[in-house]
């Protein structure tokens, strides 16, 4: 690899969500079929911004939003310390398998530690189409630990 190609490599920045990211994040959410609108997402992000137990980070590649992670602190009766939940992790399809998701999760780990957490977790569906996501999480050190049960209210 020449020095010239190293110097022109794309710069990945993991940073905190800003209001200017709303349109890009809405597009990311829609890419994975999360039903949302710009206004609904704006309200959700404003609500989370006021909550110190929530954190939203963006992956920006050469000035373009290409991924995001949403986190929240959770109290549990089975754990003494707070634990950190990944509520969303999305990397645009054109940028997957480049380490962006791993860097976002690392940012989530750091934020969780700063909040006093000693555990990072997420829940996921069991659809066949999610197998690549499950393999990704196992590849970066997550362990499958049970089932999720839901009931509509």
Domain ranges of the chain: 3-139
Q: What percent of the chain lies above the pLDDT cut of 70?
A: 87
pLDDT at 123: 76
Q: Which two tokens stand for residue 7?
A: 């110097």
Mean pLDDT of all residues belonging to the chain = 83
CA distances from 90 to 26, 54, 66, 79 (A): 11, 17, 8, 28
Instruction: Please give the model's pTM, rounded to 2 decimal places.
Output: 0.80
Report which of residues 22 and 127 the model is more confident about.
22
Residue 111 contacts by C-beta under 8 Å, 6 or more apart in sequence?
55, 57, 71, 84
Yes or no: domain 3-139 corresponds to CATH 3.40.50.1220: no
Distance from C-alpha of 109 to C-alpha of 103, rounded to nearest angstrom: 10
In the block, residue with structure tokens 């509509």: 152
């Amino acid at each position: 690899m020449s020095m010239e190609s190293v110097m022109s490599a794309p710069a990945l920045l993991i940073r905190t969500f800003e209001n200017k990211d709303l349109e890009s994040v809405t597009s990311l959410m829609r890419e994975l079929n999360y039903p949302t609108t710009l206004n609904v997402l704006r309200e959700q992000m404003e609500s989370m911004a006021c909550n110190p137990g929530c954190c939203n980070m963006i992956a920006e590649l050469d000035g373009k939003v290409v991924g995001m992670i949403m986190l929240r602190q959770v109290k549990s009766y089975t754990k003494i310390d707070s634990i950190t939940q990944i509520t969303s992790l999305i990397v645009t399809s054109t940028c997957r398998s480049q380490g962006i998701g791993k860097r976002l999760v690392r940012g989530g780990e750091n934020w969780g530690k700063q909040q006093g957490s000693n555990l990072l977790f997420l829940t996921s569906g069991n659809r066949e189409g999610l197998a690549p996501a499950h393999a990704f999480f196992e590849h970066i050190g997550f362990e499958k630990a049970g089932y999720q049960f839901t009931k509509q209210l």
